[in-house]
Each structure stands twice: as structure tokens, then as C-alpha cells.
Amino acid sequence: MGVGAALCVPMALGISEHSRFGGHIWRLVDRARAESRKFTPAEFAEATDAHARATDMRTMAVASGIAAGLVFAGGLTLYILSARLDRPRDGVAARRLQLHPTLAPGHVGLGLRASF
């Protein structure tokens, strides 16, 4: 669950930077409107660059937000399951359930180990 909470940092950074680059684009637009003119080539290049960076930051914020939610929910689920399965029932040894990530070249997945 701590990793899920830590993934909120890049999400917040992405949101902040997206807003900053978006604000920069609007300042360029307002300046051009105030002078009743179109963008100069330098302003157009600057606005295009700011738009690309804003889009990258939005993508980072969304991806890290989704990852944070999934990791946090998975951690919470495993914590609840382990608390329920670790209690002895009727004098019988506790059952154990373990879920672990599996990473290998060309393979990503989850492994499940259960003992009764």
C-alpha cells in the first residue's frame, strides 16, 4: 500500500506541470489577442512545445494515478485476505494464501500459493 501512496507523487507532479504548461499557452494566446495578431513563428514553436510537454505530463499523471490506485487496492485486498486467513479456525492450523508478482523476460503475471 505504501508503493501505491508513493505513486501519488508523480501523479501530483504531472498535474502541476500540465497546469503550468497549459497556463503558458494561454498567456501566449492572450498576448496575441491583445495585439490583434496571429502567432509569430517563434511563439507558435513555443506553444507547440508547451502543448507537447503538457500532454506528456497529463499522460504521466493519468498513468501513475491508475497504477497508484491498482497497487493500493491490491495491497489492501491482500492485507484483508491475510488477516482473515491467518486466524486459526476450530483449533486447526491457519491456512495461508500468498499472491506474488512474477517477472521474467517476456512474461509478467501473478503467482498464487496456498497451503491448507
Number of other CB atoms surrounding residue 32 within 10 Å: 16
Residue 108 lies in a domain: no
With respect to residue 75, please indicate whether it lies within any of the assigned structural domains: yes
pLDDT per residue as tens digits for the range 57-96: 999 999 988 988 888 888 888 888 776 665 655 555 556 7
Count of domains for the chain? 1
List the helix and strand counts (H, then E) for the chain: 3, 2
64 CB burial (10 A radius; 0-12, 13-18, 19+): buried
Q: Is residue 110 part of a domain?
A: no
Q: Which of 94, 14, 102 is nearest to 62 (CA)?
A: 14
Does the pTM surpass 0.85? The reply is: no
In a domain, residue 24? The reply is yes
Per-residue pLDDT, 87: 60
CA distance 108 to 74: 16
For residue 53, give the amino acid letter: R
CA angle in degrees (0–180, nearest 5) for 24-30-36? 140
Domain for residue 112, yes or no? no
Residue 3 has pLDDT above 80, yes or no: no
Domain of residue 6, residue span = 2-88
Whether 54 maps to a domain, the answer reads yes
Over residues 8-24, mean pLDDT: 89
